[in-house]
Chains A and B, each alone.
Chain A
Amino acid sequence: MSALLEIRNLSARVDDKMILRGVDLTVNAGEVHAIMGPNGSGKSTLAQVLAGREAFTVESGQVRYDGRDLLALSPEERAREGVFLAFQYPVEIPGVGNVYLLKAALNAIRRHRGLPELDAMEFLALARSRMKAMDMRDELLYRPVNEGFSGGEKKRNEILQLALLEPRLAILDETDSGLDIDALQIVANGINALRSPERAMILVTHYQRLLDYVVPDFVHVLSHGRIVKSGGKELAQELERRGYGWLEADADAAAAQVPR
């Protein structure tokens, strides 16, 4: 069986600034990968490039998703094919009810998959049951998307979308940042409940603490736009103890050896 996601030598820049410098990563269905690294290492860029953010230009490399060329697809096609990005900074959309966006998104994806669209009643029943699991108040359905949501509510709203849209590849970009310990627990429970043999997850995180609750199968360290170390869950604990400095030094040394 081929991998769900295969990233080969991926390089990307924003304006003139190279951010990703040859990322290699293979993710199989059912696996949870954590991508860690210091600020500015390119973690969020990787997440956004995979989701199709047009502000980034892919310089070289390939990304195969489910056997297809992911980079050839528009952001909405990727979403409909099952690639989901939980945003680090969920965007506010004034005047648009959260329930409206959620339903439009779910039905766009269902249409793409050849499934019948859900009507308002069916959708509400589904949304309410998922919200209960996220310990979210019904009221958040009727508020404008992310407007006036607390930091924790925004992140929970992202996980709610994840739960509703049932993607095959979920990329969570610093979903743990800005959460207090209770909210982190709730979000982590939500993520754990969504682990399944068909679904792969990539957790982008700066800190180890999310990984206390969501135990990854693999941990990768991104530094200067390249994965410099990979390992099991124990790597995260090592990073917690030692920081990123020792890896950065290695990465710099490695970079110096690359022939020009």
Chain B
Amino acid sequence: MSSSATNLDDLISREYRHGFVSDVAADALPRGLSEDVVRMISAKKNEPPFMLEWRLAAYRHWRTMTEPNWSSVHHPPIDYQDIIYYSAPKSRGTRPASLDDVDPELLRVYEKLGVPLKEREMLAGVAVDAVFDSVSVGTTFKAKLAELGIVFCSFSEAVQEHPELVQKYLGSVVPSTDNFFAALNSAVFSDGSFCYIPPGVRCPMELSTYFRINAKDTGQFERTLIVADEGAYVSYLEGCTAPMRDENQLHAAVVELVALERAHIKYSTVQNWYPGDKEGRGGIYNFVTKRGDCRGNDSHISWTQVETGSAITWKYPSCILRGDNTVGEFYSVALTNHFQQADTGTKMIHIGRNTKSTIVSKGISAGRGQNAYRGLVKILKSADGARNYSQCDSLLLGDRCGAHTFPYIEVKNATAKVEHEASTSRIGEDQLFYCRQRGLSTEDAVSMIVNGFCREVFKELPMEFAVEAQKLLGVSLEGSVG
């Protein structure tokens, strides 16, 4: 027992591998938030009046709101006037015309993270829209996508080039007044990704965005909007890493998905932001609103997330099953180590008839990590024949961590079928010894057992992502068994 405990401690105390700061000259606004700051952001981005109005309305509403306190996460109060709301890396000219124009230091950062930004380095079939702090620096494969009528660009670009699409869909799933963090995001979001798949088009490659927080004390407010028109299909990947920081950084993103009739959107996230050190200092506060609207009949939205980073994760990727025969899915792995806290889950709102939802949540707690699943399954009166299946499993490593499950179920239609299963287990000494007796190190054994625990979720991820997620789990977990 004693020697394995020592190994585990070593593993748990592994430092964050992506912790480096790159020296890129940033063009930043002063600290704090006011109407003027909102106006400046909009002006810097040369936005049309409807955007400014939308931001201002969000800002005014946000000022009347208070931070939510219903989740089980704890942190010192956030001073919203001590945050820099806009920071863009400088580059020659106003916008890089090609990757050759991008700050080489920036490209080096991505290389260290293993982001295949340059086309020649790219895995076949993956287009990357890289977001560095607040402005997109390079988009690949855009031309190829354009042939199919697919729009895949930074949000700023979409505002300039496709304002009618932005105006039609922005805020139609997550209104600017939805919640405290969504309102804040709506007021100050600096950039993000935009994607539109025209009717009947199946996007031939996985679309991918890497987010990265870089400049010190910069809150990052991303906004992603994906619209799949009738009969369209898209698989979208989002991956996140951030360098090491001593102070907590706020990340409040909003993701909106719109699936029209027979459309299918698959959204996958691997989130590996800086989780703080082993004493619980620093780390990202990740307060994210993600929601998909199955607006048309027979549409399908699937969320898959692997959350291993951030000091605090607060996110509930949800599906509004509005159309008849629509399908919503949520597959989640959330890992907390050291002093990390995760409060995550989903909301499945059944409105249409014969709507189906599936929830598979795998929580892993190690160190002093706290992991909560919080989910709502709501079957409205109109949702004849609705079905839900939920499965929430928790795995504990060590005896100082915690797992919590808060399933809420509201059923207003007697024809609905709702199933909920939950389990909590520990990695057994027997399992570990068995693997080690076969020659595997403790580290590899833990990683293998945990990956096995997450298998149902990982199999939902696209291949390259699944491999990355498994490695990431091994690295960030590396540790802890009781």
Contact across chains for B453 and A95 when beta carbons are under 8 A apart: yes
Contact across chains for B456 and A112 when beta carbons are under 8 A apart: no
Contact across chains for A55 and B1 when beta carbons are under 8 A apart: yes
Contact across chains for A101 and B455 when beta carbons are under 8 A apart: no
Contact across chains for B439 and A76 when beta carbons are under 8 A apart: yes
Cα–Cα, bound, A79→B439 (Å): 5
Q: Which 10 A-B pairs have the closest CB atoms?
A: A95-B452, A96-B452, A105-B438, A108-B439, A95-B455, A79-B439, A91-B434, A75-B436, A76-B436, A54-B1
Contact across chains for A112 and B439 when beta carbons are under 8 A apart: yes
- CB-defined contacts of B435 to chain A, threshold 8 Å: 93, 101, 105
Contact across chains for A165 and B439 when beta carbons are under 8 A apart: yes
Cα–Cα, bound, A54→B453 (Å): 24
Q: Known contacts A104-B440, A105-B440, A165-B439; is A95 also within 8 Å of B451 by CB?
A: yes
B88 in the interface (beta carbon within 8 A) = no
Interface segment out of the listed B10-18, B77-85, B442-450: B442-450
Contact with B along A96-131 (1 / 0, CB 8 A): 100011001100110010000000000000000000
Contact with B along A136-154 (1 / 0, CB 8 A): 0000000011000000000
Contact across chains for B436 and A74 when beta carbons are under 8 A apart: yes
Cα–Cα, bound, A161→B442 (Å): 19
B428 in the interface (beta carbon within 8 A) = yes
A85 in the interface (beta carbon within 8 A) = yes
- CB-defined contacts of B3 to chain A, threshold 8 Å: 54, 74
Residue on B with the closest CB to A96? B452
Q: Known contacts A54-B3, A104-B444; is A90 also within 8 Å of B434 by CB?
A: yes
Could you list 9 A-B pairs, sorted by A, with CB under 8 Å?
Answer: A53-B433, A54-B2, A87-B434, A93-B435, A95-B452, A95-B453, A95-B456, A96-B448, A101-B435
- CB-defined contacts of B438 to chain A, threshold 8 Å: 79, 101, 104-105, 108, 161, 165
Residue on B with the closest CB to A167? B439
B424 in the interface (beta carbon within 8 A) = no
How far does the Cβ of A222 sit from chain B's closest Cβ, in whole Å? Answer: 21
Contact with A along B256-295 (1 / 0, CB 8 A): 0000000000000000000000000000000000000000
- CB-defined contacts of B456 to chain A, threshold 8 Å: 95
How far does the Cβ of B393 sit from chain A's closest Cβ, in whole Å? Answer: 10
How far does the Cβ of A259 sit from chain B's closest Cβ, in whole Å? Answer: 33
Contact with B along A72-90 (1 / 0, CB 8 A): 0011101110001101001
Interface residues in chain A, defined as those with a beta carbon under 8 Å from any beta carbon in chain B = 51-55, 74-76, 78-80, 84-85, 87, 90-96, 100-101, 104-105, 108-109, 112, 144-145, 161, 165
B454 in the interface (beta carbon within 8 A) = yes
How far does the Cβ of B306 sit from chain A's closest Cβ, in whole Å? Answer: 15
Contact across chains for A55 and B439 when beta carbons are under 8 A apart: no
- CB-defined contacts of A79 to chain B, threshold 8 Å: 436-439
- CB-defined contacts of B454 to chain A, threshold 8 Å: 95
Cα–Cα, bound, A94→B434 (Å): 13
Residue on A with the closest CB to B455? A95
B441 in the interface (beta carbon within 8 A) = yes
Q: Known contacts A54-B1, A75-B433; is A94 also within 8 Å of B440 by CB?
A: no
Q: Which of A55, A80, A93, A112 touches B434 (beta carbons < 8 Å)?
A: A93
Cα–Cα, bound, A112→B439 (Å): 9
- CB-defined contacts of A55 to chain B, threshold 8 Å: 1, 429
How far does the Cβ of A157 sit from chain B's closest Cβ, in whole Å? Answer: 11
- CB-defined contacts of A165 to chain B, threshold 8 Å: 438-439
How far does the Cβ of B11 sit from chain A's closest Cβ, in whole Å? Answer: 14
Q: Which of B2, B431, B442, B449 touches A76 (beta carbons < 8 Å)?
A: B442
Residue on A with the closest CB to B427? A93
How far does the Cβ of B122 sit from chain A's closest Cβ, in whole Å? Answer: 24
Interface centre among B435, B444, B449, B455 (most CB of A within 10 A): B435
Contact with A along B1-37 (1 / 0, CB 8 A): 1111000000000000000000000000000000000
B67 in the interface (beta carbon within 8 A) = no
How far does the Cβ of A108 sit from chain B's closest Cβ, in whole Å? Answer: 4
Contact across chains for A100 and B440 when beta carbons are under 8 A apart: no
- A75-B436, A90-B434 are known; give 8 further A-B pairs, CB within 8 A: A76-B440, A91-B430, A96-B448, A96-B451, A101-B438, A105-B435, A108-B441, A165-B438
How far does the Cβ of A31 sit from chain B's closest Cβ, in whole Å? Answer: 22
Contact across chains for B433 and A93 when beta carbons are under 8 A apart: no
Considering the complex, which residues of chain B in the window 350-376 have a beta carbon less than 8 Å from any beta carbon of chain A? none
Cα–Cα, bound, A84→B434 (Å): 11
